[in-house]
Amino acid sequence: MKAIILSGGKGTRLRPITHTGAKQLVPVANKPILFYCVENIVQAGIKEVGIIISPETGGEIQDVVGDGSRWGISIKYIVQDIPGGLAHAIKTAEDFLKDSSFVMYLGDNLIGTRIDGFVKDFNAKSPEALILLKEVDNPKQFGVADVTEEGKVKQLIEKPEVPPSNLALVGIYIFSPRIHEAISRIKPSERGELEITDAIQELINMDCRVESFVLDMWWLDTGKKDDLLTANGTVLDEWLKTDIQGEVDDESSVFGRVAVGKGAIIKNSTIRGPVIIGDNSVVDNSYIGPYTSVGEGVKIVNSSVEHSVIMNGSELLDLERLEESLIGCRVKIHENKTKHKALRLLLGDDSVVEV
């Protein structure tokens, strides 16, 4: 079995962060989202992975991810010239996939479980497709499945006005090679894309067996700021382990699960976990509250930060309270000495802001 990870797109919902970087490389708990996808695939025993990239951000993804050797796998990069839809991405990767079954994983999705069990189930039962579903409150915004009590998929509809259920498609799929035939039989949707829901529906029309599994754990699409902050908090809450490698002085207090990277310095500060602080960062006379990720080489002085993601090389100086914020790389924020209030910010790389 092979895998493809979709890492194209322009990341419009995360701008301005994604004006200068790929959305799949935005960190959650100080690790690029894309790395969680790769690691989940590796845990399933898959050794050949294709990463679908766009011309705009593909070079950066290749530089960060590399050839796969760090995970003991082989990675091939496949350029999708136009954002033609998820089924179009499979069509673009057809030469790589050949006659292999494969996992398709959206590179900005996180789930709270390993996928190896789903891969084993697919191999044991040999359906033409296995899709993951999750109950949602707003099914009109998703591809929605109508399934039998046994989990067999009867129908799929993309963003239906009258949803047949509240079961949304999660961005992880397993397909047999017959999906290529199904894609060849469908036409672009009204928005000009080859929809994966149409392709799976075509499998059903071809009397192919499409199985489903309803997740009872969390699933997060990190495409927007609030979703990414939720993902960051969830990963910190469930997966972070205490690991103090940097220096914490006697005037500082650390509560709960906190990870402090190599070369980091904590001086006269309070850290209340879950919190992760990257290598060579400095926290001085400050409070870092729960669900905060501080990247590498960050400087936080005389400030209070909570439930935020602060990316590499940024500086926060004299801020009374910063919360629910996503701060890009090399951002500088400092007080203008006139007002004190909580801030909610979405800032792109290289910004300088006075507040």
- Cα–Cα dist 210/195, whole Å: 16
- Tens of pLDDT, residues 67-124: 999 999 999 999 999 888 999 999 999 999 999 999 999 998 899 899 999 999 999 9
- Cα–Cα dist 73/115, whole Å: 17
3-state secondary structure of 21: coil
10 Å CB burial of residue 76 (0-12, 13-18, 19+) is middle
pLDDT, average across residues 224-249:
92
Please give the pLDDT value at position 338.
60
pLDDT band (50, 70, 90) for residue 19: very low
Under 8 Å between Cβ of 85 and 48: no
pLDDT band (50, 70, 90) for residue 21: low
Q: Does domain 2-224 have CATH number 3.40.50.12280?
A: no
- Cα–Cα dist 278/189, whole Å: 44
- Tens of pLDDT, residues 179-219: 999 999 999 988 888 999 999 999 999 999 999 999 998 88
> CATH 3.90.550.10 in the chain, residues?
2-224
- Cα–Cα dist 314/348, whole Å: 11
240-354 homologous superfamily: Hexapeptide repeat proteins (2.160.10.10)
- In 3D space, the residue among 281, 282, 309, 285 whose CA is nearest the CA of residue 296 turns out to be 281
3-state secondary structure of 157: strand
AA letter at 81: D
> CATH 2.160.10.10 in the chain, residues?
240-354
pLDDT, average across residues 261-284:
98
Least confident of 30-39, 85-94, 211-220, 299-308: 211-220
- Among all chains, which residue has been given the structure tokens 């033609």? 84
* Residues forming a β-bridge with 316: 300, 333
3-state secondary structure of 132: strand
pLDDT band (50, 70, 90) for residue 35: very high
- Cα–Cα dist 17/39, whole Å: 24
